[in-house]
């Protein structure tokens, strides 16, 4: 099963790798049109998925994520159009020089080949992931949730119509029908066929991939992000940044989970900050010194320091100096995003040098770690690993490089 899908994906990938940027752009625009043209079958398939999910007791946010509407289908198509407009990541010469023997060397950005995406019950990811894979010259093997299988298959069929109309193999985008645990494990271990596996889901999916995957993957991991308010912070600025980092969208990975305050400013800063956060509905869990400074705090446990709440909760620690702040963050952080608020150049320098995270902010909210904000146009996720790609992943994360050497008969001595 996986071998047949893999073979088709591999063969299609070879065709995609040779496409010009213009062809890929036109292909994605056709894909967008076909998704909109197929709105009726897509909504009908989604209706069936919704009915079954309801009958199996799915409700709330999960059910809402599964739901497609005419507007959501249009948004899916518009997403494809905006990826279509991005510059082609393939073919860029990322370096080049001439060897002493006269061989001209180029390092060129090339597609990876076949990208597998495992995602949860959000059918829009089907179009989204397919668009990103094709734009970067790769085939897509898409394994969504069993709850969304009819929706995903219907969207996949629309995308395949677009491929066929451009004379391209339908194997370039394949929605996997087998969403069983065994089928998914086979995909995670299809080393012959899968060049990169991108998980788009929660901690359960990440854990499964870390346990079972033998194909290369990039992890979009947890964000236990801190804001450190230094002794030399502009406290009004610190208040705005902490509030924004915690409250503006608490459910995302670049929201702050923990506030670390230098003791020199804790007494002045924390009471007002605690009141403001508390009034906004944030539950505050502090260490002993923090708790002694503001009534809004309850005592934190050791577990709090390492927890990504994804919620209106924040841990608060008062530290004696910058070293203690850095130690705390290196101990409990997840290497996603860490921020310092300070006007002290040397504190900012040390923080940016010593904090080992994908993104380190000086005097800015942690919420800016984001492909859109960074200007990548599209984001596949935010890598918390150190190899291949770190931080927000744009189209380049879906490519590799190749050395091309042009000689005129050189041989090695």
CA 311 – CA 257 distance, rounded (Å) = 8
- Candidate list 6, 89, 113, 171; residue touching a second copy; CB under 8 A: 113
Contact between 194 and a second copy by CB under 8 A: the answer reads no
- Candidate list 259, 319, 361, 395; residue touching a second copy; CB under 8 A: 361
CA 210 – CA 101 distance, rounded (Å) = 45
Contact between 410 and a second copy by CB under 8 A: the answer reads yes
Give the nearer residue to a second copy in terms of CB position, either 49 or 230.
230
Which candidate, 268, 291, 282, places its Cα nearest to that of 312?
A: 282
β pairing state of 104-111 and 93-98: antiparallel
Rounded to 5 degrees, φ, ψ at 249 are -160, 85
Which positions from 369 through 408 interact with a second copy, judged by CB under 8 A? 369, 373-375, 385-388, 390-391, 400-408
- Candidate list 210, 288, 295, 323; residue touching a second copy; CB under 8 A: 210
- Candidate list 4, 7, 14, 87; residue touching a second copy; CB under 8 A: 14
- Candidate list 92, 206, 312, 364; residue touching a second copy; CB under 8 A: 364
Contact between 207 and a second copy by CB under 8 A: the answer reads no
Give the nearer residue to a second copy in terms of CB position, either 85 or 386.
386
CA quadruple 332, 335, 338, 344: dihedral sign: positive
**Which of these ranges, 26-34, 99-107, 161-169, 273-281, lies near a second copy under the rule CB under 8 A?**
99-107
Give buried/exposed letters for 298-336 (b at 16+ CB in 10 A, else e).
eebeeebbebbbbebbbbbbbbeebeebbebbeebbbbb
**Which of these ranges, 24-32, 62-70, 235-243, 262-270, lies near a second copy under the rule CB under 8 A?**
235-243
Give the nearer residue to a second copy in terms of CB position, either 79 or 113.
113
3-state secondary structure of 116: strand
Give the nearer residue to a second copy in terms of CB position, either 50 or 227.
227
Tokens of 289: 């010194």
Contact between 99 and a second copy by CB under 8 A: the answer reads yes
**Which of these ranges, 24-32, 75-83, 146-154, 360-368, lies near a second copy under the rule CB under 8 A?**
360-368
CA 41 – CA 34 distance, rounded (Å) = 11
Which positions from 59 through 98 interact with a second copy, judged by CB under 8 A? 97
Inter-residue contact 68 to 151 (CB < 8 Å): yes
CA 53 – CA 55 distance, rounded (Å) = 5
Tell me the H-state helices in 166-301: 181-188, 203-212, 235-247, 263-279, 288-293
3-state secondary structure of 38: coil
Give the nearer residue to a second copy in terms of CB position, either 185 or 289.
185
Contact between 206 and a second copy by CB under 8 A: the answer reads no
Q: Which contacts qualify for 306-311: CB closer than 8 Å, 24 or more apart?
A: 306/224, 306/332, 307/224, 307/257, 308/222, 308/223, 308/224, 308/253, 308/257, 308/334, 309/250, 309/257, 310/250, 310/251, 310/252, 310/255, 311/250, 311/251
Shortest Å, Cβ 364 to a second copy = 3
Q: Using the structure block, give the residue that is written with the tokens 């394994």.
A: 143
Give the nearer residue to a second copy in terms of CB position, either 241 or 277.
241
Contact between 367 and a second copy by CB under 8 A: the answer reads yes
Contact between 317 and a second copy by CB under 8 A: the answer reads no
Give the nearer residue to a second copy in terms of CB position, either 77 or 196.
196
- Candidate list 40, 240, 280, 288; residue touching a second copy; CB under 8 A: 240
Inter-residue contact 300 to 306 (CB < 8 Å): no
Rg of the chain over CA atoms, in angstroms? 24
Contact between 9 and a second copy by CB under 8 A: the answer reads no
Contact between 20 and a second copy by CB under 8 A: the answer reads no
Q: How many residues bind a second copy (CB under 8 A)?
A: 66
Give the nearer residue to a second copy in terms of CB position, either 155 or 233.
233
Contact between 192 and a second copy by CB under 8 A: the answer reads no
CA 326 – CA 190 distance, rounded (Å) = 41
Contact between 214 and a second copy by CB under 8 A: the answer reads yes
Shortest Å, Cβ 243 to a second copy = 8
Contact between 280 and a second copy by CB under 8 A: the answer reads no
Residues that bind a second copy (CB under 8 A): 14, 17-18, 97, 99-100, 103, 105, 110, 112-113, 195-196, 210, 214, 216, 218, 234, 237, 240-241, 243-245, 248-249, 330, 348, 352-354, 356-365, 367-369, 373-375, 385-388, 390-391, 400-412
């Amino acid at each position: 099963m996986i071998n047949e899908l893999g073979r088709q994906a591999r063969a299609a990938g070879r065709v995609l790798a040779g496409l010009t940027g213009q062809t890929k752009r036109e292909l994605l625009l056709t894909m967008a049109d076909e998704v909109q043209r197929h709105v009726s079958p897509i909504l009908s398939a989604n209706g069936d998925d919704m009915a079954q999910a309801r009958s199996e007791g799915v409700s709330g946010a999960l059910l809402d994520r599964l739901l497609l509407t005419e507007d959501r289908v249009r948004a899916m198509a518009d997403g494809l159009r905006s990826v279509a407009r991005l510059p082609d990541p393939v073919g860029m010469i990322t370096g080049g020089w001439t060897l002493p023997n006269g061989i001209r060397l180029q390092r060129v950005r090339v597609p990876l080949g076949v990208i597998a995406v495992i995602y949860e019950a959000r059918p829009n990811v089907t179009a989204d992931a397919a668009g990103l894979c094709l734009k970067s010259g790769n085939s897509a093997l898409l394994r969504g949730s069993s709850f969304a299988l009819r929706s995903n298959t219907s969207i996949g069929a629309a995308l395949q119509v677009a491929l066929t109309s451009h004379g391209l193999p339908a194997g370039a985008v394949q929605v996997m029908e087998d969403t069983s645990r065994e089928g998914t494990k086979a995909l995670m271990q299809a080393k012959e066929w899968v060049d990169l596996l991108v998980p788009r889901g929660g901690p359960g999916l990440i854990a499964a991939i870390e346990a079972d995957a033998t194909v290369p993957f990039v992890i979009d991991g947890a964000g236990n992000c801190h804001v450190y308010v230094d002794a030399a912070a502009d406290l009004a600025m610190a208040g705005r940044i902490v509030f924004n980092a915690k409250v503006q969208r608490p459910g995302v990975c670049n929201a702050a989970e923990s506030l670390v305050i230098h003791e020199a400013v804790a007494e002045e800063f924390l009471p007002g900050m605690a009141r403001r956060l508390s009034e906004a509905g944030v539950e505050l869990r502090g260490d002993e010194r923090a708790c002694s400074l503001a009534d809004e705090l309850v005592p934190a446990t050791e577990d709090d320091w390492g927890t990504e709440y994804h919620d209106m909760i924040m841990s608060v620690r008062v530290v004696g100096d910058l070293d203690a702040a850095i130690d705390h963050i290196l101990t409990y952080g997840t290497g996603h995003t860490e921020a310092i608020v300070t006007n002290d150049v040397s504190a900012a320098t040390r923080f940016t040098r010593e904090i080992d995270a994908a993104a380190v902010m000086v005097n800015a909210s942690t919420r800016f770690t984001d492909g859109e904000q960074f200007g990548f146009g599209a984001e596949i996720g935010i890598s918390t690993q150190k190899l291949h790609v770190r931080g927000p992943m744009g189209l380049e994360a879906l490519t590799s490089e190749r050395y091309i050497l042009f000689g005129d008969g050189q041989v090695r001595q």
